Amino acid sequence: MNHNVTITSQDALIIVDVQKDFCPGGALPVSEGDKVVPVLNKYIKKFADAGAVIVATRDWHPPNHRSFKKHGGIWPTHCVQGTDGAKFHPDLKLPEGTMVVSKAVAPDKEAYSGFNGTGLAEKLKKIGVKRVFVGGLATDYCVKSTVMDAVKSGFETFLLEDAVRGVDVNPGDSEKAVQEMLAKGAKKLTVSHLK
């Protein structure tokens, strides 16, 4: 997609899990995860200037969450409610009024998507949002799940390809995830496409 997109108040920027534990030095770091921050700040400014909705999702796990290795899951303990690692990256310039969505808050439920059990789709529809623009961490898990659920919920969905980074547990996972998102109907763009 190369044509320009004009952001309006019917759009929402969804920033997925840009938390300290997913950035270098954190408990579950995404390689170069912090590199999305300056790019996301450019998006935040454009969306804020247009009066659009800005959403920030976060993993907000109880200490006994099932995704943690010590409770039979596959991940190291990360983003535990109220810990430093669960905080948003300090350089992320979230404006006042950002809608913060906490997910995976129940110990026995995994939730990679910002739409999973959060009521986000209903909230966005209620305020007239038609298009969502998704960036953040990690491409092959929470970003992918959020994008897939956004498409399923009927939103025109854009993947911000210059503002995502993946885990790549298996080499190529992120690229595969991008192809899956596009196959489901998401479109990709970069900050240069925004008017």
What's this model's pTM, rounded to 2 decimal places?
0.96
pLDDT at 195: 81
Low-confidence ranges of the chain (pLDDT < 50): 1
Domains annotated for the chain, with CATH where assigned, are 11-193 (3.40.50.850)
DSSP state, residue 97: T
Catalytic residue among 46, 59, 79, 103: 103
Catalytic residue list contains 103? yes
**Is 79 a residue of the active site?**
no
Beta bridge partners of 52: none
Percentage, residues of the chain above pLDDT 90: 95
C-alpha to C-alpha distances, 68 to 44, 62, 63, 78, nearest whole angstrom: 32, 10, 9, 8
Contacts of 55 (CB under 8 A, 6+ apart): 12, 13, 14, 15, 98, 99, 100, 101, 114, 120, 124
What is the pLDDT, as a whole number, of residue 84?
A: 98
Which one of 23, 46, 79, 142 is the catalytic residue? 142
Among the options 17, 21, 149, 162, which is catalytic? 17
The token pair that represents 35 in the structure block: 């590199």
For residue 42, indicate whether it is catalytic: no
